[in-house]
Amino acid sequence: MPMIQTDRRLEVSEAAWRVIVREGLDRTSMRAIAQEMNCTTGVVTHYFRNKQELILFALHQVTERLQVLMEQAVANSSGCDRLVTMLSSFLPLDRERQEILRVWVAFLGYAVGREDLMVAHQQSAGELRQVIIQELVTLQKQKKIRSDINPAIEANVLLALVNGVGLDALIQLQRLSPEQQKAVLQRYVDGLRN
Amino acid sequence: MPMIQTDRRLEVSEAAWRVIVREGLDRTSMRAIAQEMNCTTGVVTHYFRNKQELILFALHQVTERLQVLMEQAVANSSGCDRLVTMLSSFLPLDRERQEILRVWVAFLGYAVGREDLMVAHQQSAGELRQVIIQELVTLQKQKKIRSDINPAIEANVLLALVNGVGLDALIQLQRLSPEQQKAVLQRYVDGLRN
DNA sequence: TCAACCTCATAACAGTTGTTATGCAGTGAA
DNA sequence: TTCACTGCATAACAACTGTTATGAGGTTGA
């Protein structure tokens, strides 16, 4: 088991992301990734035991980057606004979040029919859900949101809403504008207020 | 150009669906589909010019089946209940709708990085959106829902909600139960009432 | 009967896939 | 220096991919 530099693994993973967004996940071969890095498959196979490991690593980066975005939101606001900002991390409001969404969707489709990958998806989704639950519990203690709200359930609904709005931006030609996306989220959260 | 029996094409398409759900879209090869039908690739290539055509046909079946579900809803209810029933077609409440959702997600992920397939997705999503818009316009004329609602925008939000809730059932281990899914939809639509 | 056609099996094609083995340049430690 | 090890290129492997050509059996209609 060689000592492995995380930076280099990240480089491979990011190259994989670019190929996924540009060509699609099923056309993201070892050779395509290597070419994207201007090197050969030797690099890819050196840092990842096999493709499965690479895929899982790249998928993990989705959650990683989403959590970074959410933490930034936590730092810069409070109350219900903070919840809205956190959930905005899932909306494709800028180039970065659009890319995250596309990669996420590509992996999700790829996970259909592959139980192991779907489980990995469920785990990362569960982590994000926990963050939202925690936030809802806090808001409820502060009496910022209604007491009849069940945080565990409401977290699912909130994530469903932002994921759905994100998908809308992907699949609808007459899609919601970024402002409308934010407005939908804002209005729904306002409905939770005390 | 041979005269082609639609029934046989449907058989191939349905076999493809089963393979997609069981094995994943990228492992759904011509040979796998043929094997699912207990015959050889000769059948598949006979009824479809190439794989692209097969994929598009199978994707079209998603919209087809969703529209059938929605039409059944239209026939059996009226008012806001009808809207709820129509939108319930997108929720994975039974085996059939679960299968539709999985195939839909598989195709969507497959469409990332393939502009032509994404456009096909957008077209079918647009069709479904039109149905919802029409229903909202009707409800508004009947003064069943608020007059400040913009049907064109609200259709996106409603579809985003049901798609998001559907995804929740796929990716969350602690997912919303079918009853909770319906309740979320019902509560949101109630909020549109006059 | 015979010819046209639909339906499908079989086989071969070139290209791509993930994986593995091999080897070479560089680096740091002994 | 010598030895081990990292980082990576190269090449080969079998398996699998979509596509295409060929032909056989059955049906239909003249």
A57-83 in b/e form (b: 16+ CB < 10 A) is bbbebbbebbeebbeebeeeeeebebb
Tell me, what DSSP letter sits at residue A145?
A: B
pLDDT tens by residue, B23-57:
999 999 999 999 999 999 999 999 999 999 999 99
Which of B156, B146, B153 lies closest to B194 in space, CA to CA?
B146
Instruction: Report the share of chain A in percent with pLDDT over 70.
Output: 97
Nucleotides of C under 7 A from a protein CB: 5-11, 16-21, 23
Q: Could you please report the per-residue DSSP string of A3-21? A: ---HHHHHHHHHHHHHHHH
For chain B, say whether A162 makes contact (Cβ under 8 Å). yes
Q: What is the dihedral of CA B16, B18, B20, B22, to 10 degrees?
A: -150
Phi, psi of B145 (to 5 degrees): -125, 165
Nearest CA in chain A to B23: A113
Inter-chain CB proximity B126 and A156 less than 8 Å: no
Residue A153 has pLDDT above 70, yes or no: yes
Give the residue whose CA sits closest to C5 at C1'.
B2
Digit-coded pLDDT (tens) for A1-15: 344 567 899 999 999
Q: What is the mean pLDDT of residues B148-171?
A: 98
The per-residue pLDDT for A4 is 57
Tokens of A126: 């569960």
Q: Give the position of tokens 């998603």.
A: B62
